[in-house]
Amino acid sequence: MPIMNVADKFEKVSEMARRRGFFWPSYEIYGGVSGFINWGPLGSIMKRKIEDKFRDIFLRRLNFYEIESPIIAPERVFKASGHVDHFKEPMVECTKCRRKFRADHLLQEIAELSSQETDRMGLSEIWEEIERHSIKCPDCGGELSEPKYFLTMFQTTIGPYSESIGYGRPEAAQGIFVEFKRLYEQVRERLPIGFAQIGHALRNEISPRQGPIRLREFTIIDLEFFFDPEKPQCPLLDEVADEKLRLVLAENRLKGDETPIELKVRDIVAKGYVMVEWHAYFMALAKRFVASLGIPDDRQRFIEKHPWERAHYSAQGFDQEVYLDRWGWVEVAGFNYRTDYDLKGHMRESGVDMRVFKPSDKETVRVEVKIKPLIQNIGRAFGERAAEVLGILQNINPQALLTAFNENGFYEVNGLKITPEHVEVTKVEVREKGKHFIPHVIEPSFGSDRLAYAALEYAYSVKEDRVVLRLPRDIAPIQLAVLPLVNRDGLPEKARAVYKLLINEGYMVEYDESGYIGRRYARFDEIGVPLCITIDYQTLKDETVTIRDRDTWRQVRTEINRLPYLLHDFFRYKINFEDLGEPVEKQ
Amino acid sequence: MPIMNVADKFEKVSEMARRRGFFWPSYEIYGGVSGFINWGPLGSIMKRKIEDKFRDIFLRRLNFYEIESPIIAPERVFKASGHVDHFKEPMVECTKCRRKFRADHLLQEIAELSSQETDRMGLSEIWEEIERHSIKCPDCGGELSEPKYFLTMFQTTIGPYSESIGYGRPEAAQGIFVEFKRLYEQVRERLPIGFAQIGHALRNEISPRQGPIRLREFTIIDLEFFFDPEKPQCPLLDEVADEKLRLVLAENRLKGDETPIELKVRDIVAKGYVMVEWHAYFMALAKRFVASLGIPDDRQRFIEKHPWERAHYSAQGFDQEVYLDRWGWVEVAGFNYRTDYDLKGHMRESGVDMRVFKPSDKETVRVEVKIKPLIQNIGRAFGERAAEVLGILQNINPQALLTAFNENGFYEVNGLKITPEHVEVTKVEVREKGKHFIPHVIEPSFGSDRLAYAALEYAYSVKEDRVVLRLPRDIAPIQLAVLPLVNRDGLPEKARAVYKLLINEGYMVEYDESGYIGRRYARFDEIGVPLCITIDYQTLKDETVTIRDRDTWRQVRTEINRLPYLLHDFFRYKINFEDLGEPVEKQ
């Protein structure tokens, strides 16, 4: 039965991941719902360590910030962002069995068109191709309907009013754009500045497959980097100037050539392959980030998107792809030059000025709206909640208030209805030296689930017929295992004391006294524990333990009281395994 | 205008939180949508540190695990869990202005009934009370409609089929229950065992107010602790036996007495105030956890819920409450004995056996379903995806497959339709010594947003007319500020070097050289930075810096090269501020 042997790496990794608690499909007891996965006891730790690594590289070290905003947003947010108009996919329905399919995917799978081709097609062209290739329902062979667009956002209702439509966010970015003015004030008007958000996002895919690669719910890591378009230079470029990136340029792709060219970041900038220097800077950081997850440089590439492949907000875009055994090159991150598209959209939709101010020698004049609360009217209207209303008025954006007055005749928050009679609105002419402008945005955006899966696939290896998960030591979910050599003679007690010591040092540690030591090592190799610490008879004599390396199976012996600072340095990559103690001769 | 002076602590904290980037209402530029807030640049770090503290106390140290499952779940999950039937609130509508209100809240606010009273009422009793008190629309004075139940889950559709209803999870717990069998295998059938989940949850409140206290989207921290109901003893009880808890017992509440009685955990257990020892154990851990966020013991209490106040799944419940300035006692955590309610519900709804096995001397007989893939049929039906199907069958729960066959005639996953002709199903009689049972559950469940708000409120203090945010040093978002005394003479360069050193040690550090040193100290006091490190002229001579304590404003002087290990110990509460260096005399 040769068919049993074709298991590819995805199958092997998935089988291990399900058995040992990394990830598996959700809701299996209910027959499964495709597009949803769980990260389990081990997977969730590993995934979070990857996200923390992003925080360290892209936020803490750059003095950028993170925010956490809701997943559900009112319709106007996604009208402003263009998602209500653009975030949709072509869908066909079988007229016989009523199953629904992504029309472009059918063309790719059955008519063997490339995604480059289908991405350019409108509904009528898709329909022509379906008819030309006589494509039928892949399930029952029935006739397909004409394609329609399906909005791939999850829709819901906020509160008890059916007209109050909300959507699950398809990206975390809008939570940042909507709040940009507030955030900008909070960081004391620093520019350039980056704000990130890591959280669940929702895309209501028509028929997702591909396990952890195409999900309806996933974790997105969005970094929105705001800069003055008149100052697009990146002063940090030197730090990455010699980093080499493998680029697949759009101009070459047009000629049918997908071979990457390897270029230093300084040359990418010099040759004008990016419109904004920061674009190249973030791609270089991202390459290092992904490499640190165990994905070699030559299994990464950056592919420049054609205009028709780019999202509606993007003026230039590169996808960072990694090579996966089953699917070939798969996007793990996108780098888009979003210009002022989003802030402009929210400015138009909300009526709120999203511009920032830049001092200069030229004097300009503008009209500022000021609000004065009419305290007596407020006291009369709101009674004991008057103070609350005053608090709200103190913090409100005057323009938002006016907009609400114009549209609804009132402004409502927390059940308080503020009307024009509660405030005096004045307009003041302000003369100032400087100008107002909308910042531009470069966006690095990562898929956390895909990164975590890729890290697992690259870590998965077989040594002497056993699986060894060679995860980088700083993303391994369990850092240490403490094992008494045998389950008697006081060794378990001593091992428990060492376990306790390491727990108190803050490590993720497993204690295991069951079965032969070799089987225990094998179990910990399979889940990627970098070091096993074994307590043997010699420990009782001289307070030393052996430390075993997951990847080489070599062992060293060291004193228990030296463990805390040795391990501290080891897990920060300051020392290597050999530095942990004296080599132990193989018995 | 005395009305301006009544600002309570909530208003003050909110104003600061909005200005400095802790939290604020979402979507303000669109007039706001109540029930949604953002955690900003500072708030999101603090909130995550609180969640990480939970992980440390309740998971890492107890060797329990976390998982991450989707927010969206198919309808059957919440049918099984009882939420579709029970997770609803009484609502009335104004017949004139069409506004909708929580009926029980109106009775509490206008008829001054207690929540104890309204919680017991059915729709007809609520309606009677509304009529008896002639309650009208609080907005326009119109007549109210008869109350109806409103399902407070966010509803959506999964994929393109309108019959495929999904809900946003109102608790993270179900993600654990649904996967319990798989999780139990992954931890090698350990019992007792805890699985937690920290993530966004959604409750479609009818008309939420109260800022961060009543939210439509919030972060929940659910820990589901599974144990054998025949072994309810907690072997860890000794560790907390002398911890004192302030309990408000249901029997006293019935008599109208809400005074807490202070009892040691050992006495709570001895007197039978909890049905399960673990219940008291987790409440004791929770008290310590909440105290470590800066909320004193006497501002905490545990209130036992009456049967009619408890959630539908709960056999005994305590709420952990903290005292907040505006709202009085507010729940920050719930501790419920969920028994086998949830696993039983999923067993019933899915047909999958959720029981675990316990060996014993008694022999039992049961029937086990086994599946054999029919490889030729599978090869013929699935072609190149046959291996995938075999992989699925290898991992599937046989009972789930049979259930799907019985209900739909097929089992579908990833677009693969598996039918009875692809497998041979056999039933085997298994004799074994032992018994199968459904584990019982104790659930500690925290509201992360409320904890974070409470920590802010308790940290908020005023010293010499300035705000000082006395956050515990291990949840302060920014740990260190590095400040050159003046912005010249080489001090900024030196300060930048110290900044770099501390960044490389892994700290969250701010560098600030703008303005007078006093103003900078004030700014960092207001956002709760525990230590300011100042570089002055003496630094250039002898490589020492001053360290200033946020709470006492005292200063010590120490050597730069001693900072790494001193700070390491300081932030882990191993040493105090005074141990950081030599006291500096006030100039």
Q: Give a yes or no: residue B159 inside a domain.
A: no
Q: Do B72 and A154 touch (CB under 8 A)?
A: yes
A540 touching chain B per CB within 8 A: no
Predicted confidence at residue A587, as pLDDT, reads: 55
Q: How far apart are CA A214 and CA A203, in angstroms?
A: 10
Please check whether residues A408 and A455 belong to one and the same domain.
no
Q: Do B412 and A200 touch (CB under 8 A)?
A: no
Which of B539, B537, B535 has the alpha carbon at shortest distance from B480? B535
E strand segments, B23-145: 23-25, 37-39, 65-66, 72-74, 88-93, 100-102
Please check whether residues B101 and B228 belong to one and the same domain.
no
Nearest-Cα distance to chain B for A283, in Å, is 22
Which of B398, B384, B423, B375 has the alpha carbon at shortest distance from A8? B384
Contacts of A278 (CB under 8 A, 6+ apart): A192, A225, A227, A232, A234, A442
By CA distance, what is A383's nearest residue in B? B3
Strands A440-447, A88-93: pairing is unpaired
- Measured between beta carbons, which residues in chain A are less than 8 angstroms from residue B160? 91, 100, 150, 204, 206
Please check whether residues B375 and B409 belong to one and the same domain.
yes
* pLDDT tens track for B526-536: 999 999 999 99
Identify from B24, B29, B89, B374 which residue to disrupt to test chain A contact, counting A C-beta atoms within 10 A and taking the largest count: B29
Nearest-Cα distance to chain B for A154, in Å, is 6
Closest CB to A158: pick one of B33, B183, B211.
Answer: B33
A154 touching chain B per CB within 8 A: yes
Predicted confidence at residue B185, as pLDDT, reads: 97
B392 touching chain A per CB within 8 A: no
Please check whether residues B338 and B273 belong to one and the same domain.
yes
- Measured between beta carbons, which residues in chain B are less than 8 angstroms from residue A38? 67-70, 175, 179
- Is-contact B246 B300, C-beta < 8 A? yes
Predicted confidence at residue A152, as pLDDT, reads: 95
E strand segments, A171-271: 193-202, 217-227, 244-248, 261-264
* pLDDT tens track for A357-380: 988 888 878 788 888 888 888 888
SS3 A372: strand
By CA distance, what is A45's nearest residue in B? B66
Q: Give a yes or no: residue A101 inside a domain.
A: no
pLDDT at B396 over 80: no
Closest CB to B350: pick one of A29, A168, A181.
Answer: A29
Neighbours of A208 (CB within 10 A): 20
Q: Give a yes or no: residue A444 inside a domain.
A: yes
- Is-contact B73 B166, C-beta < 8 A? yes
Residue A483's DSSP bridge partners are A534
Nearest-Cα distance to chain A for B209, in Å, is 5
Helix then strand then coil, in percent of chain A rounded to 5, is 40, 30, 35
Q: Which two tokens stand for residue A224?
A: 């929105």
- Measured between beta carbons, which residues in chain B are less than 8 angstroms from residue A11? 387-388, 391
b/e per residue, A249-259, with b = 16+ CB within 10 A?
bbeebeeeeee
pLDDT at B479 over 80: yes
pTM for the full predicted model: 0.91
Residue B3's pLDDT band, with cuts at 50, 70 and 90, is: very low
- Measured between beta carbons, which residues in chain B are less than 8 angstroms from residue A3? 375, 379, 386-387, 390
Q: Give a yes or no: residue A182 inside a domain.
A: yes
* pLDDT tens track for B61-93: 999 999 999 999 999 999 999 999 999 999 999
Mean pLDDT estimate for chain B = 93
Q: Do B156 and A155 touch (CB under 8 A)?
A: yes
Identify from A30, A71, A376, A397 which residue to disrupt to test chain B contact, counting B C-beta atoms within 10 A and taking the largest count: A30
A97 touching chain B per CB within 8 A: no
Give how many domains chain B has, as a whole number. 4
Residue A132's DSSP bridge partners are none
B417 touching chain A per CB within 8 A: yes
Nearest-Cα distance to chain B for A103, in Å, is 13
- Measured between beta carbons, which residues in chain A are less than 8 angstroms from residue B414? 34, 209-211
A72 touching chain B per CB within 8 A: yes
B24 touching chain A per CB within 8 A: yes
Residues 166-185 of B with CB under 8 A from A: 166, 168, 175, 178-179, 181-183, 185
Q: How far apart are CA B245 and CA B264, in angstroms?
A: 6
C-alpha Rg value of chain A to the nearest Å: 29
Residue B587's pLDDT band, with cuts at 50, 70 and 90, is: low
Predicted confidence at residue B586, as pLDDT, reads: 66
Between B496 and B375, the more confident residue is: B496
Which of B569, B583, B560 has the alpha carbon at shortest distance from B502? B560
- Measured between beta carbons, which residues in chain B are less than 8 angstroms from residue A157? 154-155, 204
């997770």: which residue's tokens? B87
Q: Give a yes or no: residue A310 inside a domain.
A: no
pLDDT tens, per residue, chain A with 587 residues: 344 456 799 999 999 999 999 999 999 999 889 999 999 999 999 999 999 999 999 999 999 999 999 999 999 999 999 999 999 999 999 999 999 999 999 999 999 998 888 988 999 999 999 999 999 999 889 999 999 999 999 999 999 998 899 999 999 999 999 999 999 999 999 999 999 999 999 999 998 888 899 999 999 999 999 999 999 999 999 999 999 999 999 999 989 899 999 999 999 999 999 999 999 999 999 999 999 999 999 999 999 999 999 999 999 999 999 999 999 999 999 999 999 999 999 999 998 999 999 888 888 787 888 888 888 888 888 887 887 788 778 777 787 788 888 888 888 877 788 999 999 888 888 888 888 999 999 999 999 999 999 999 999 999 999 999 999 999 999 999 999 999 999 999 999 999 999 999 999 999 999 999 999 999 999 999 999 999 999 999 999 999 999 999 999 999 999 999 999 999 999 999 999 999 997 65
A62 touching chain B per CB within 8 A: no
Predicted confidence at residue A586, as pLDDT, reads: 66
Please check whether residues A341 and A219 belong to one and the same domain.
yes
A575: domain CATH number is 3.40.50.800
Q: Give a yes or no: residue A190 inside a domain.
A: yes
By CA distance, what is A343's nearest residue in B? B29
Please check whether residues A347 and A200 belong to one and the same domain.
yes
A161 touching chain B per CB within 8 A: yes
A34 touching chain B per CB within 8 A: yes
pLDDT at B153 over 50: yes
By CA distance, what is B381's nearest residue in A? A139
Residue A300's DSSP bridge partners are A322
């940090």: which residue's tokens? A236
A383 touching chain B per CB within 8 A: no
Closest CB to B404: pick one of A6, A15, A31.
Answer: A31
Q: Give a yes or no: residue B11 inside a domain.
A: no
Q: Give a yes or no: residue A314 inside a domain.
A: no
Please check whether residues B492 and B428 belong to one and the same domain.
no
Q: How far apart are CA A477 and CA A524, in angstroms?
A: 11
Please check whether residues B222 and B330 belong to one and the same domain.
yes
A229: domain CATH number is 3.30.930.10
CB pairs under 8 A between A and B: 314
B257 touching chain A per CB within 8 A: no
Q: Which two tokens stand for residue A395?
A: 């913090």
pLDDT at B49 over 70: yes
B553 touching chain A per CB within 8 A: no
Nearest-Cα distance to chain A for B91, in Å, is 9
B474 touching chain A per CB within 8 A: no
Please check whether residues A502 and A373 belong to one and the same domain.
no
Mean pLDDT across B12-18 = 96
Please check whether residues B178 and B274 belong to one and the same domain.
yes
Please check whether residues A345 and A460 belong to one and the same domain.
yes
- CA A129 vs. chain centroid, Å, equals 35
Residue B6's pLDDT band, with cuts at 50, 70 and 90, is: low
Predicted confidence at residue B425, as pLDDT, reads: 86
Q: Do A204 and B158 touch (CB under 8 A)?
A: yes
Contacts of B321 (CB under 8 A, 6+ apart): B300, B301, B302, B303, B329, B330, B331, B332
A162 touching chain B per CB within 8 A: no
Please check whether residues B454 and B561 belong to one and the same domain.
no
pLDDT at B149 over 90: yes
Nearest-Cα distance to chain B for A425, in Å, is 17
Q: Which two tokens stand for residue B123?
A: 């729709």
B70 touching chain A per CB within 8 A: yes
The residue count of chain A comes to 587
Q: Do A204 and B159 touch (CB under 8 A)?
A: yes
E strand segments, A325-437: 328-339, 356-373, 411-413, 416-418, 423-437
- Is-contact B250 B234, C-beta < 8 A? no
B402: domain CATH number is 3.30.720
Give B163: exposed, middle or buried? Use CB within 10 Å, 0-12, 13-18, 19+. exposed
Q: Which domain does A564 fall in, by range?
A: 478-583
Identify from A37, A68, A354 which residue to disrupt to test chain B contact, counting B C-beta atoms within 10 A and taking the largest count: A68
Residue B414's pLDDT band, with cuts at 50, 70 and 90, is: confident
A209 touching chain B per CB within 8 A: yes
Q: Do A400 and B29 touch (CB under 8 A)?
A: yes
A158 touching chain B per CB within 8 A: yes
Strands B411-413, B316-324: pairing is unpaired
Predicted confidence at residue B2, as pLDDT, reads: 40
Neighbours of B39 (CB within 10 A): 25
Sheet containing B148-151: which strands, arranged edge to edge? B100-102, B88-93, B148-151
